[in-house]
Amino acid sequence: MTPLPVETLRSAALAVRTHAHAPYSKFQVGAAVLTSGGEIFAGCNVENASYGLTICAERVAVGAAVAAGHKQIVAVAVVSSGGHSPCGACRQVLSEFGPAMEVILIDADDPTKTRTTTLAALLPEQFSSGAL
């Protein structure tokens, strides 16, 4: 198996985080997903005054990958202040495209602080329709 391009994922997530639209929470997040074909797609959080319409960075990155025709994701890097893990909704969306993916969590305040886990560890009993 080819080693994950962790530095490339980290760089993409850090760079896209600067484009986050977070005027309400001020909590900027960047994410980058790696497809099984080796392509990287990035996304940032996009808040809305109607807060329920806010889109998390992870879901933006997944949407970009799917829009480009990719439906198998092997890794995701998430950059946030404090290095938080994806929310429950994002965990479920990620599981649709790669239940065994690696999850790289990066602290934006100190990008050398990085944790790696798996989506299975974060969402041990994910819901699946078996469609993919």
Residues 112, 11: contact at Cβ < 8 Å?
A: no
User: Is 102 noted as a catalytic residue in this protein?
Assistant: no
Per the DSSP assignment, residues forming a β-bridge with 75 are: 34, 102
What residues are designated binding site for substrate? Answer: 45-51
Q: Which residues of 89-103 are buried (b: 16+ CB within 10 A; e: fewer)?
A: ebbbbbbbbbeebbb
Q: What is the pLDDT of residues 74-132, one digit of tens each?
A: 999 999 999 999 999 999 999 999 988 999 999 999 988 999 999 999 999 888 766 55
Binding-site residues from annotation for Zn(2+): 56, 87, 90
Burial tier of 77 (Cβ tally within 10 Å: 0-12, 13-18, 19+): buried
Task: Tell me the CATH class for 6-125.
Answer: alpha beta
Q: Which of 58, 96, 102, 125 is catalytic?
A: 58
Contact 31, 66 (CB under 8 A): no
Q: Residue 104 — φ and ψ, nearest 5°?
A: -110, 120
**Taking the complete model, does pTM exceed 0.75, yes or no?**
yes
Q: What share of the chain is helix, strand, coil (3-state, %, to 5)?
A: 30, 25, 45
Amino acid at 96: E
Model pLDDT for residues 31-58, shown as the tens digit of each residue: 999 999 999 999 999 999 999 999 999 9
CB proximity list for 125: less than 8 A, separation 6 or greater: none
Q: Tokens for 98?
A: 């790669």
